[in-house]
Structure 1
Amino acid sequence: MKMFIFLMEIIEEVNGYFKIRITTDNKEENYTDISFNPDEKKLEFLNQDRVGEYLKQNEYQLRKILHNKRKDTFFVGFKVKIVLRDEKDVAAFNDRSKIVVLDKRNGQNDSFVVDDGEERIYKIYTDGSFMEKYNRGAYTVLIQDLKGNYDIYSEKTEIKSSSLIELMAAIKGLKVLNNVKKIRIITDSQYVRKGLTEWIVNWKLNDWNTANGEKAKNIEYWKEFDKITENKYIEFQWVKGHSGHFENSLCDIYAREQAKKETSHKF
């Protein structure tokens, strides 16, 4: 899926409407202006030009960026680089029943959505949690090989962020399968599912800042996650937590039991 990079700069504000200049190709003449009201979520294309036509064709992606941007970060002078994927099916990416694929083999970095993934593929089931009662967290990784055999890894952590613990679990699984090129990660974390397939491209373009101009959280972990997926084909499958999914439930049980222990123990 071809990606295009734009610079988005807020150049004027009148009565709550922000005039935003969007430039491409690093050439000042290749730009268009839009107007956006963050309260009313009203978007207007102000020019008829090549850049504007492309943005109209990918309006859903542009709107998602603008809608997710906090109101207090709309001010004259704000700049951020954004990436739009050509004809991206945003609805499919947001459909949690779909599998999101990240293909980084042969020097590429492509992400797309499929209904069903590879039939023969190593699977990493993960879950993690922070237990306030014990002031500790833990994660569990369950790995299934091509013959259906399982290996389990469970580790305690002092990290207090459940999202980060989920990310640590995915990293652990990939490290165990370091020499495997095709892997599916099954997780109940949207943070893990979307971070590497959608968000990280924009973070890296903006020196690890978000669209709100703030540093992304857990940068060092995301850098490691990004690095260890090089030259791999990774499928991300989301499952609803605490829904009776066997492997996810097993990971949850082991993670909670591990967090309760006074001393760390690895399986």
Structure 2
Amino acid sequence: MSKDTTPEVVIYTDGGCRGNPGIGGWGAVLHYGEHERLLSGHEPYTTNNRMELTAAIRALEALSRPCRVALWTDSEYLRNGITRWIHGWIRNGWKTAARKPVKNAELWQALLAQTQRHSIEWHWVKGHSGHEGNEQADRLANEAMDTLAAESAS
């Protein structure tokens, strides 16, 4: 009998900044059967890449048990980093090929821990192309930035 590879959970993530660095927000949409869970957060001074990583980490951390996951992102930095570049970084002691420290290493390490907990298929989708899951994650990230901006203005 073949092993079922159908994802149990489908996740869409997005992160962004107003200014880079600047006010940042992230959003994640998790689908499990008929259930949907929306997650988001913000940081006052961060980068777009940090928010993309944070969205994936927080979404995977939200799963209460190990799962098969299909994770969709519009960030090639996130997808390439976790599927290709990370192996060299680990081999090089968290240094790039140019022997410089890997940017956002603590976030990459947190994401790596989640990849050891879950079975994840990483997918890329073009941002702002009408893909509903990506658009919803983008809205959550922008709403989180709006919330922080409003809190900061008060």
- TM-score, L = length of structure 1: 0.51
* Cα separation, 2, equivalents of 1:251 and 1:181: 20
User: Is it true that 1:263 corresponds to 2:154 in the alignment?
Assistant: no
- Cα-Cα RMSD: 2.0
* Greater Cα offset, 177-186 or 162-171: 177-186
Deviations 1:92-132 (A, max 9, x none): xxxxxxxxxxxxxxxxxxxxxxxxx9434201111111013
Change (3 A) 1:232 1:250: closer
Given the alignment, which residue of 6, 19, 25 partners 1:132?
19
Match of 1:143 in 2: 30
C-alpha contact (below 8 Å) 2:28/2:140 kept by paired residues: no
Deviation at 1:148, TM superposition (A): 3.2
SS state of the match for residue 242, structure 1?
A: coil
C-alpha contact (below 8 Å) 1:159/1:165 kept by paired residues: no
5 Å-filtered alignment, 1:60-99, equals: none
Deviations 1:151-204 (A, max 9, x none): 101111124211111000000001001413211111001111111211111111
Question: AA paired with 1:170?
Answer: A
Give 4+ residue runs of structure 1 displaced > 6 Å after superposition. none
Given the alignment, which residue of 43, 59, 62 partners 1:157?
43
5 Å-filtered alignment, 1:9-88, equals: none
Question: AA paired with 2:11?
Answer: I
% of aligned pairs identical? 33
* Cα separation, 2, equivalents of 1:166 and 1:159: 14
Match of 2:72 in 1: 186
- TM-score, L = length of structure 2: 0.87
SS state of the match for residue 151, structure 2?
A: coil
Question: AA paired with 2:39?
Answer: Y
SS state of the match for residue 248, structure 1?
A: helix
Match of 1:247 in 2: 133
- Report the structure, 1 or 2, having the larger helix content: 2
* Cα separation, 2, equivalents of 1:218 and 1:210: 12
C-alpha contact (below 8 Å) 2:24/2:45 kept by paired residues: yes
* Cα separation, 2, equivalents of 1:256 and 1:198: 29
Match of 1:61 in 2: none
Unaligned stretches of 5+ in structure 2?
Answer: none
* Cα separation, 2, equivalents of 1:193 and 1:121: 20
Deviation at 1:208, TM superposition (A): 0.7
SS state of the match for residue 158, structure 1?
A: strand
* Cα separation, 2, equivalents of 1:120 and 1:127: 20
